[in-house]
Amino acid sequence: MPLPPELLQAISSPAGGQVALILGAGCSVEYPTNIPISRDLSLEVHRRLVADSILNEGECANPEDLSVLCDKVFDKTRLQKPVVDRILSISDFKVAPPNDGYLITAALLAEGAISSVVTLNFDVALTTALSQLGLGSVVGVIERPEDLQLPHTKLVNVYYLHRNANSPDPELWVLRTSVLEEDWRNHWEALIAVRVLTAPVVVFAGLGTPIAVLLESSRLIREALPMPTVVYQVGPGARVGSRFALEAGVDAQHYIQLGWGEFMTELAKRLTVEFRSKLDQSLREKTEEEQLPAENSGDLVNQIMNLDFVTQGILRAHVLLASKPYEPASDDAFRLIGDLLLAIAMIARISASSAVILKNGMVEFRRDHRTVARYILASGRGHRGRAAVEAQLRSRRQRVDEMEANGVLVAGTSEPIELPTLPKDIARGDIPFDDLIAPDTPMYHVSVIRSAPETIGDIVP
């Protein structure tokens, strides 16, 4: 289903930070995170508690509700550790890999499109997503009330409202509604109301299972929402089957029937539209300012923008020689990448070849369905010289599985790089990439190529 216009406008706002997410257990069900849904998890924990003689069969009034189950165990043992231990033995909450929805969430946090995420989950798949993309310095992770201060907090943050599997004390997990009430009033309420719920649009996702502590958390958050906050709910099932939607009064216009990953993919597509507009603008401005020939770069732009949202950021990181796996979009990034795209389009035109951008930041020139040349794309970001670019390329080579290359197409350096004189074995592409990042690495600077287009026959034979 198409996303509501107000939500699309909010996620693509130039000001950023117009959307906050509240995430429940349903977000961790999807592959490869694969955390069991709360109902199934609770039933299996209950079965083991009965088998281990901690509970008697029939003693728990509702074994499908993890909060009710934990209340019963705590009443008997004055501990919730028996429940937490069995939860952790059923599924590894500490190292569950992030699904696509979590990876996109991490990227949108880095882009500033999402202001904050409050998660009610115990797994740390979202934190792992941030780590995989190298965004720990950009996005703060608040795992407990004691972290509500520097250096843990950043401009954008993820809040684990119930704590998580990293907590060394299982008694601190918020599984019982009485503990939630105390934590909320004493620690979370003021912060969530001021830092998170001031976003004009708040989206609840993954709240399909009617577990007492999740419903109570959602109620407390809803009550803290200032007017006129717009609230949406996302779920894979029909609205009439959602207890949360019924209790919260979420009407049909504000209920989005999509799976978690599907929803985040559609949300990110709206931002991609803005990114394409900015890249197109950078191409026009470069062409006009440098009085360059009008190149047919539309197909190259399509290739980039047809990549999924996270891969676009990874590609930017490769080309801009970033030190982290994911590079947020920026006007400078589009300007620098646009410079390279115009050069690629020129090389393809003059050499009568077609250019294909690879996800690892390389470009292949093909003719008659055969690759005739392959180059690493690199930008000096406007301030790096040749030595710095070479150092970054060596670092990149250690992190990226790259194929053999004929050399490097480079732009945006602080100093000119003259065209190399190539032995024929390099021009043919016979030297593997392992031997290229050296002082004699063949580098082709796009500005030099533009001034000497006759050399393109050597670059793409």
Segment 400-439, tens digit of pLDDT = 766 789 999 999 998 777 765 444 444 444 444 444 444 4
DSSP one-letter string for 416-437: --PPP---HHHHTT-S-GGGTS
Min mean pLDDT across 183-197, 241-255, 355-369 is at 183-197
The pLDDT of residue 258 is 97
Share of the chain above pLDDT 70, in %: 90
Q: Is the pLDDT of residue 215 over 90?
A: no
**Residues 405, 375: contact at Cβ < 8 Å?**
yes
Burial 401-439 (b: 16+ CB within 10 A, else e): ebeebbbbbbbbbeeebebeebeeebbebebebeebbee
Q: Is the pLDDT of residue 446 over 90?
A: yes
Rounded to whole angstroms, how far apart are CA atoms 7 and 325? 28
Among residues 407, 433, 403, the alpha carbon closest in space to that of 421 is found at: 407
- What's the number of CA atoms in the CB half-sphere (13 Å) around residue 421? 0
Q: What would the mean pLDDT of 262-288 be, rounded to a whole number? A: 97
Q: 255's torsion region: left (phi>0), alpha (psi -120 to 50) or beta? A: beta
444, β-bridge pairs: 409
**Residues 411, 363: contact at Cβ < 8 Å?**
no
Q: What would the mean pLDDT of 395-401 be, rounded to a whole number? A: 75
Rounded to whole angstroms, how far apart are CA atoms 36 and 193? 30
The pLDDT of residue 375 is 95
Higher pLDDT among residues 218 and 39, named by residue: 39
pLDDT band at 115, cuts 50/70/90? very high
Among residues 276, 329, 278, the alpha carbon closest in space to that of 306 is found at: 276
* Residues 6+ away with beta carbon under 8 Å from 306: none
Among residues 378, 372, 377, the alpha carbon closest in space to that of 460 is found at: 372
Q: Is the pLDDT of residue 273 over 60?
A: yes
Among residues 341, 339, 334, the alpha carbon closest in space to that of 316 is found at: 334
Mean confidence (pLDDT) of the chain: 88
**Residues 362, 402: contact at Cβ < 8 Å?**
yes
The pLDDT of residue 370 is 95
Rounded to whole angstroms, how far apart are CA atoms 240 and 243? 8
Q: Where are the alpha helices (DSSP H) in 195-308?
A: 212-224, 243-248, 260-290, 298-305
Rounded to whole angstroms, how far apart are CA atoms 80 and 84? 6
The model carries a pTM of 0.91
Q: What would the mean pLDDT of 212-231 be, rounded to a whole number? A: 71
Tokens at residue 196, please? 């998170």
Higher pLDDT among residues 435 and 114, named by residue: 114
Q: Is the pLDDT of residue 88 over 50?
A: yes
pLDDT band at 214, cuts 50/70/90? low
DSSP one-letter string for 75-116: HHHS-SHHHHHHHHHHS-TTTPPP-HHHHHHHHHHHHTSEEE
The pLDDT of residue 148 is 75
The per-residue pLDDT for range 152-176, each reduced to its tens digit, is: 788 899 999 888 999 989 998 888 8
User: What is the C-alpha radius of gyration for the chain, rounded to an integer number of angstroms?
Assistant: 26
Residue 51 class from Cβ within 10 Å (0-12 exposed, 13-18 middle, 19+ buried)?
exposed
Share of the chain above pLDDT 90, in %: 67
Q: What would the mean pLDDT of 289-298 be, rounded to a whole number? A: 93
How many beta carbons lie within 10 A of that of residue 6, not counting itself? 14
The pLDDT of residue 212 is 60
The top-scoring range by mean pLDDT among 189-198, 200-209, 229-238, 397-406 is: 229-238
The pLDDT of residue 162 is 85
Q: What would the mean pLDDT of 334-354 be, rounded to a whole number? A: 97
Residue 265, CA distances (Å) to 5, 110, 130, 139 in order: 16, 16, 17, 20
The pLDDT of residue 92 is 85
**Residues 431, 425: contact at Cβ < 8 Å?**
yes
Tokens at residue 393, please? 């390329």
Among residues 82, 47, 81, the alpha carbon closest in space to that of 64 is found at: 47
The pLDDT of residue 227 is 63
Rounded to whole angstroms, how far apart are CA atoms 118 and 107? 16
Q: Is the pLDDT of residue 384 over 70?
A: yes
Q: What would the mean pLDDT of 183-200 be, rounded to a whole number? A: 70
